[in-house]
C-alpha cells in the first residue's frame, strides 16, 4: 500500500507485512512503505511528518456549547506526506492495502454531499478511508483513479501528486477522541413511526395501537418495522419532585405508565410484536432528588446536588449503585417487558448542563467527567443487550463507539423550515453515518404539501440513516404512503464526503457499485425558486467523455441519453428532482425502477447480461404494482419474457416490466434478439 503503517517498517519486514504480488516493487524508508506497481526507476520519496495540536469538535447548534469543549491533555495530530514529483506525462500505478471495511471518499468537499454504496470507481474521490484502522489516505493531484482489488485498491496517477496519511482520522483529526471503533456497526435498517410530533405528551395507548395497526398494514412490507413511544407515557416529571409512594422505586415511574396506558407497558409491547413490529420506547435521563443512593449525585460548589436546566440533577456514572438506581434499572425492566428499541434522551443536558457546570466536583475526585458520561451509556447498552440504543439529542463525541445510533439534529415540525434544518445537520454530520454510528436526522413530519414531503423523504433516504415519521396516522393518505414505500427500506450507505459539508446542500449524489455495475443518483433540492440549470456530469463523479442514460425517479420518466452535462429542470421552493445516471451500453440494460430511490441498491439483485439475455430479481411489495424499466437500444428487439405475475410493454426504447402487488422478490429473464 502507499502509506501503510506508522511503525518502523523497513525492507524485508515491510514486504512480509504487506505481502505484495510478485510483480510489484516495494520502496520504503524507516516509516512508510510505498508500493509502486510499474515504476522501478523512482527514488525513495522523502516522508514529511507534521504534528499539530488537536482541536475540539464544532457542534453548530443554535443553543448550548458551540464545540464539544473536550480535548484530552497534550493530544496531538500526526500527519505524513510524500511528494511524488514526476513528469506530467508519467503514469504511476500504486497499490493501497486496505480492509474490507474501507471505501473511497473525499475529505475536501464542503460544497458537495455524497453518499456511496459499495466501492464505486467514480472520479470525484481522492481518498481511501479504512474504518478498521481509522486511517485516511489522500492523493492530491495526479487525477487518481481507485479500482477495488484483492486486499485493497489499485491506483493510477498521472503526473506529480502529494500522498498524505492521517492516522486516527476520525478519532483524533475529527475530534472523536474516545471513539471505540471495535464496536460493530448496527447491521439492520432502522425505519418506523415515532409518537412525539404526532401526539406530543398527550400520547395514549390507543394512539400507539392505531399507529401499530396502520404501519403493519401499509408499510411493514416496505421495511418500516419500529413503533416508538416518545415522551408522555411515563409518570416521572421533568421538573419537580417525583410522586414516590412508600417503597416505590424511581424506575417504576417509567416502567409503570400513567392512566392513558391502562393495560400497562408489557401488554402493549406484546401487542406491537404480535403485528410483526419492533416495540420502541423513549427514556429521558432527567432526575429529581430522592433516590436512595443520594451519594451519587453530582455536587455543585455549595456541596449540594447541582441542578441544571432540562436535566435537573445528574448521577456520577462512575458510582455504580447510584447509576443502577437512577438510570439502568429502568432500561433493564423495560427490556424485560419486551421493549427492543431505546431512545435515550437528555444525554446532552447531563453532560453540558450538569457535568460541565460542576468542574470542581470532578477535580476534587480526580475523575474524568467524560469517562463517567460514557459509563452511563455503556451500562444502558449492556442491559439493553441486542436491542437498538439511540443517543439523543445532538452529536456527542464523548459517546462515540457506545450507542448504536445518534440523533444528529434538533427537533423538527411539519414545516419547510424543518426540512431545511434537517438538511443542515445531515450535511454537517453525514461523515459519521455508518462510520461512528447510524445517523438519525430525526423523524419527518409529512403532513405538509406533497411536493415538500417528497423532498424530505428524498434527502433522508439518500443520506442513508434512519427513516422515521411522526404524524397522526389519519394524515397518511395514499400519496404520502406511496412516498414512504418508494424510499423503504433504508439503504446501508457510507459517506462519500468524510468531513462536514455546508448547510443547504443543493445537490446530493449517491454513487453505487453493485453486481459489477455502477450508477449514480443525483437529487437537486430547491431552497428557493430555482431555474433550470446545466451541470457537468463530472461534478457527480461521472466521466464527461461517456454517454449516460438519465431516468427521473419520481416522474418514472426516461430523460434521454446525456453526455458532458445534464439540464436539471426548474423547481419551486421546497420541490426536488431525483435523476439516476447509468453509462450507456451497446445492449439492453437496466434504466431504472419506480420501486426504490436507490434504483437497484435494495430493489434489484443479481442483474446480469449473458447470451443476449438480461436477468435479475426485483423487490416488490403488497398493495402496489411496481415497474422495472429497461433500455432497449437500436439494433435490438424483445424476444421472450419470463417474469411470472408481470406484464410488459415496449414504448420507443423503453421496456416496462410491471409486477402485480406481491410481497418479496420476483425473478425475471428477458431474451433479446438482434434486429
Q: What is the pLDDT of residue 34?
A: 56
Q: What is the pLDDT of residue 637?
A: 96
Q: What is the pLDDT of residue 64?
A: 86
Closest by CA position to 103, among listed 480, 493, 483, 369: 493
What's the rounded Cα separation, in Å, for the pair 503 and 510?
18
Q: What is the pLDDT of residue 15?
A: 30
pLDDT tens digits for 329-384?
999 999 999 999 999 999 999 999 999 999 999 999 999 999 999 999 999 999 99
Parallel, antiparallel, or unpaired: how do β-strands 161-167 and 76-84 relate? antiparallel
Closest by CA position to 250, among listed 183, 206, 313, 193: 313
Collapsed DSSP state (helix, strand, coil) of residue 385: coil
Q: What is the pLDDT of residue 60?
A: 87
Q: What is the pLDDT of residue 8?
A: 29
| pTM (2 d.p.) | 0.94
Chain-centroid distance, C-alpha 434: 5
Q: What is the pLDDT of residue 86?
A: 86
Compute CA distances 189 → 228, 460, 659, whole Å. Answer: 15, 13, 25
1 exposure class (CB count in 10 Å sphere: 0-12, 13-18, 19+) = buried
List domains and CATH numbers for the chain: 11-173 (no CATH), 191-495 (3.20.20.70), 515-584 (2.60.40.1180), 585-675 (2.60.40)
Q: What is the pLDDT of residue 40?
A: 67
Residues in the chain predicted with pLDDT less than 50, given as ranges, are 1-33
What's the rounded Cα separation, in Å, for the pair 103 and 434?
12
Q: What is the pLDDT of residue 221?
A: 98
What's the rounded Cα separation, in Å, for the pair 647 and 642?
10
> How many other CB atoms sit within 10 Å of the CB of residue 52?
10
> How many other CB atoms sit within 10 Å of the CB of residue 602?
21
Q: What is the pLDDT of residue 31?
A: 44
What's the rounded Cα separation, in Å, for the pair 40 and 417?
58
Omega within 30 of 0 (cis) for the link into 393: yes
Per DSSP, what are the bridge partners of residue 391? 344, 406
Amino acid at each position: 500500500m502507499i502509506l501503510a503503517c506508522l511503525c518502523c517498517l523497513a525492507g524485508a519486514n515491510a514486504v512480509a507485512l504487506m505481502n505484495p504480488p510478485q510483480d510489484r516493487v516495494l520502496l520504503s524508508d524507516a516509516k512508510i512503505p510505498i508500493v509502486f506497481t510499474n515504476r522501478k526507476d523512482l527514488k525513495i520519496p522523502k516522508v514529511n511528518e507534521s504534528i499539530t495540536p488537536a482541536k475540539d469538535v464544532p457542534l453548530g447548534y443554535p443553543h448550548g456549547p458551540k464545540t464539544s469543549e473536550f480535548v484530552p491533555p497534550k493530544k496531538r495530530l500526526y500527519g505524513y506526506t510524500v511528494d511524488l514529483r514526476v513528469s506530467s506525462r508519467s503514469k504511476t500505478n500504486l497499490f493501497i492495502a486496505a480492509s474490507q471495511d474501507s471505501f473511497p471518499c473525499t475529505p475536501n468537499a464542503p460544497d458537495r454531499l455524497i453518499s456511496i454504496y459499495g466501492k464505486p470507481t467514480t472520479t470525484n474521490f481522492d481518498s481511501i478511508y479504512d474504518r478498521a484502522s481509522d486511517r485516511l489516505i489522500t492523493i492530491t493531484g495526479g487525477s487518481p483513479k481507485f479500482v477495488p482489488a484483492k486486499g485493497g485498491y489499485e491506483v493510477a496517477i498521472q503526473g506529480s501528486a502529494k500522498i498524505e496519511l492521517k492516522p486516527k482520522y476520525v478519532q483524533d483529526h475529527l475530534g472523536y477522541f474516545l471513539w471505540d471503533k471495535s464496536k460493530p456497526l448496527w447491521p439492520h435498517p432502522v425505519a418506523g413511526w415515532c409518537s412525539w410530533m404526532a401526539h406530543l405528551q398527550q400520547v395514549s395507548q390507543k394512539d400507539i395501537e392505531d399507529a401499530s395497526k396502520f404501519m403493519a398494514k401499509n408499510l411493514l412490507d416496505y421495511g418500516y418495522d419500529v413503533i416508538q413511544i416518545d415522551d408522555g407515557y411515563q409518570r416521572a416529571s421533568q421538573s419537580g419532585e417525583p410522586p414516590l409512594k412508600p417503597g416505590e422505586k424511581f424506575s417504576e415511574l417509567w416502567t409503570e405508565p400513567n392512566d392513558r396506558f391502562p393495560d400497562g407497558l408489557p401488554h402493549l409491547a406484546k401487542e406491537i410484536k404480535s403485528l410483526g413490529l419492533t416495540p420502541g420506547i423513549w427514556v429521558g435521563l432527567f432526575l429529581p432528588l430522592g433516590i436512595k443512593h443520594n451519594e451519587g449525585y453530582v455536587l455543585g460548589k455549595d456541596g449540594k446536588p447541582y441542578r441544571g436546566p432540562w436535566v435537573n440533577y445528574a448521577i456520577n456514572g462512575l458510582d455504580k449503585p447510584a447509576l443502577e438506581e437512577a438510570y439502568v434499572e429502568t432500561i433493564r425492566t423495560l427490556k424485560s417487558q419486551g421493549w427492543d428499541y431505546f431512545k435515550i434522551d437528555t444525554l446532552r443536558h447531563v453532560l453540558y448542563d450538569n457535568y460541565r457546570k460542576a468542574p470542581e466536583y470532578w477535580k476534587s475526585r480526580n475523575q474524568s467527567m467524560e469517562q463517567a458520561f460514557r459509563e452511563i451509556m455503556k451500562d444502558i447498552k449492556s442491559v439493553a443487550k441486542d436491542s437498538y440504543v439511540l443517543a439523543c439529542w445532538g452529536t456527542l463525541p464523548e459517546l462515540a463507539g457506545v450507542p448504536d445510533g445518534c440523533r444528529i439534529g434538533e427537533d423538527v415540525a411539519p414545516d419547510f423550515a424543518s426540512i431545511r434544518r434537517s438538511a443542515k445537520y445531515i450535511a454537517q454530520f453525514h461523515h459519521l453515518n455508518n462510520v461512528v454510528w447510524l445517523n438519525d436526522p430525526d423523524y419527518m413530519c409529512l403532513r405538509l404539501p406533497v411536493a415538500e414531503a417528497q423532498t424530505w423523504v428524498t434527502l433522508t433516504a439518500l443520506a442513508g440513516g434512519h427513516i422515521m415519521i411522526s404524524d397522526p396516522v389519519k394524515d397518511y393518505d395514499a400519496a404520502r404512503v406511496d412516498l414512504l414505500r418508494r424510499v423503504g427500506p433504508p439503504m446501508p450507505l457510507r459517506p462519500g464526503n468524510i468531513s462536514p459539508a455546508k448547510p443547504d446542500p443543493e445537490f446530493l449524489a449517491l454513487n453505487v457499485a453493485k453486481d459489477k455495475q455502477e450508477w449514480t443518483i443525483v437529487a437537486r433540492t430547491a431552497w428557493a425558486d430555482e431555474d433550470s440549470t446545466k451541470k457537468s456530469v463530472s461534478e457527480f463523479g461521472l466521466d464527461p467523455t461517456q454517454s449516460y442514460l438519465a431516468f427521473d425517479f419520481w416522474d418514472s420518466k426516461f430523460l434521454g441519453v446525456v453526455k458532458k452535462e445534464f439540464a436539471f429542470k426548474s423547481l419551486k421552493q421546497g420541490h426536488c428532482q431525483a435523476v439516476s445516471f447509468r453509462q450507456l451500453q451497446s445492449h439492453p440494460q437496466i434504466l431504472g425502477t419506480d420501486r426504490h430511490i436507490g434504483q437497484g441498491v435494495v430493489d434489484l439483485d443479481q442483474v446480469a447480461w449473458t447470451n443476449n439475455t438480461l436477468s435479475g430479481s426485483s423487490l416488490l411489495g403488497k398493495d402496489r404494482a411496481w415497474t422495472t424499466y429497461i433500455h432497449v437500444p437500436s439494433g435490438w428487439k424483445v424476444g421472450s419474457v419470463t417474469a411470472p405475475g408481470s406484464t410488459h410493454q415496449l414504448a420507443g426504447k423503453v421496456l416496462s416490466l410491471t409486477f402485480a402487488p406481491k410481497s418479496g422478490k420476483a425473478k425475471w429473464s428477458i431474451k433479446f434478439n438482434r434486429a
